[in-house]
Structure 1
């Protein structure tokens, strides 16, 4: 009988989470087996529970932000060894899910954790980083342009700010709640505005910073109301990047467009972008070019995830990621 592990299962479509057990999987070619020390939560996890998007087979193991220790290497994996501390972008299949004690990871989307970072901090990186990455670099935007980022203190927003800084956007204008102004500026925003400003107020404030057209807006919140405000800011032929399907309608004549970005590397699109960026991630984290999110550790191992997801759903988490420790599950 294969060794068993504890896992948190979504029992059925739009069902409840339950703690159970399953076999520890074995890595195939190009994969690693990782003992998960930290798994971060994302809004997509409760959205999957509510809507069943991305998941078709149940019981399902969710969780796509993973940090842990390499236990075993699959065929052809050359850049890692047993005992390495790694972070990885998990997937929407049970073997790749993060809400368990052991998971498989794909070597191309796994990176070593520098000694300066903990498992908890590293677990906050993969999904937010990848979502920011494909939104900015999956499209052709010239350096030196202004960019406006809605939700600068969110996980995705924080990585958009950092990548925008790395790419030479200027000014980097971000919105968030006033309590997170310092955090957003620490990530690299050159200008901050209260997220509660109306579209006209925000447009007037931005016009005092730059007279250049706003051709790129990244809405890391992507609620219908933020999309409306973002759409108002866009210049003719500008691009709105959203993390859910767009609720604004593209208009004839002005040429503005809305792009739904999907930060999931286990798909054919943008493979070169994913692989080259993950190859750089250890260096960027080590140098401080990319800073992980602030985080809060949940109690009770995998069981703590259920309450954490409820807090995310109710909008009770701001400026930090929730992180669980699967190995502490009783």
Structure 2
């Protein structure tokens, strides 16, 4: 593959650690490039096709994708940088609601799942995060409504452009959030809440979730204490790995239809910020994230630009 670009997640203060000890090694998950020469037996990709994919790590070892995460023969409407924002963020958003390991809703990118949930509310904490932006768009495909998200006032307009119906200030207290959400839903039970932003506790999302509902979160650890804080509710931790035995069916279904979703405009990649100096720019990018200077965009790196 030629012209590779990798992405970095900006969904709150999320840091990646790996047990990798042998170098040189591939430490990125999201990647994009063009096909230089299809391998023997490959029929879905031509020379020059745009390919984006998500690999994974098992015991510190990089595992290539077992399926192509998407391709397009038309690159005019998107850049490498935008395409690099798609695989992990989109897959995480999908698995949070549509995989059997979470809420198990019908897949909205398949015809049988389109618009199935009109009138059912959805609440997302972290509407401007990379994962949050994809989650909003999948909620729109599902027909979920109203779509209520939290974000900083400075980022409120972008979630609305993706399909959000209401944006609430992320600084509101839990009681104020519950009051606003109850008003916006007309008292309809909120059966699905997704947490993509780091919060001091699970109190805000749990307070708006109906008994028996599902709280999906990208928090790296969901221990007994966190589950105890949500009595009568299902709490699941979501990681966007589409290559496991559990998630493979949902992941494959999504990525088979990804080219159509991108080309139709039903799915828009994240807004991105390119880091200068290729791989050398990663350290500076992490510093920006640590200082809270990255908001509403995904940082991307071009390895071939390394000086």
Name the TM-score class by shorter chain.
0.7 to 0.9
Which stretch shifts more, 82-91 or 286-295?
82-91
1:110/1:146 CA distance change after superposition, 3 Å: same
Distance 2:274 2:229 in 1: 48
Alignment partner of 1:58 out of 18, 22, 37: 22
Instruction: Give the unaligned 5+ runs of structure 1.
Output: 1-33, 98-103
Which stretch shifts more, 199-208 or 105-114?
105-114
Alignment match, 1:47:
15
Deviation at 1:251, TM superposition (A): 4.7
Q: SS state of the match for residue 204, structure 1?
A: helix
Alignment match, 1:71:
36
Deviation at 1:90, TM superposition (A): 2.7
Distance 1:262 1:214 in 2: 22
Deviation at 1:254, TM superposition (A): 5.1
Deviation at 1:270, TM superposition (A): 2.3
Distance 2:14 2:34 in 1: 26
1:155 aligns with 2:145: no
Deviation at 1:229, TM superposition (A): 0.9
Distance 1:157 1:173 in 2: 11
Distance 1:256 1:92 in 2: 30
Distance 1:137 1:206 in 2: 23
Q: SS state of the match for residue 170, structure 1?
A: coil
Q: SS state of the match for residue 87, structure 1?
A: strand
Deviation at 1:35, TM superposition (A): 2.1
Distance 1:105 1:200 in 2: 44
Alignment match, 1:125:
86
**Paired residues of 2:181 and 2:208 also in contact (CA < 8 A):** no
Deviation at 1:252, TM superposition (A): 9.9
Count of residues in correspondence between the two structures: 286
Instruction: Give the unaligned 5+ runs of structure 2.
Output: 106-115
- TM-score, scaled to structure 1: 0.79
Alignment match, 1:24:
none
Alignment partner of 1:91 out of 56, 67, 74: 56
Q: SS state of the match for residue 123, structure 2?
A: strand
Distance 2:14 2:285 in 1: 10
Alignment match, 1:270:
247
**Paired residues of 1:136 and 1:160 also in contact (CA < 8 A):** no
Distance 1:253 1:152 in 2: 22
Alignment partner of 1:314 out of 279, 291, 294: 291
- Structure that is richer in strand per residue: 1
Distance 2:264 2:43 in 1: 24
Distance 2:80 2:51 in 1: 8
- Over the aligned positions, Cα root-mean-square deviation in angstroms equals 2.5
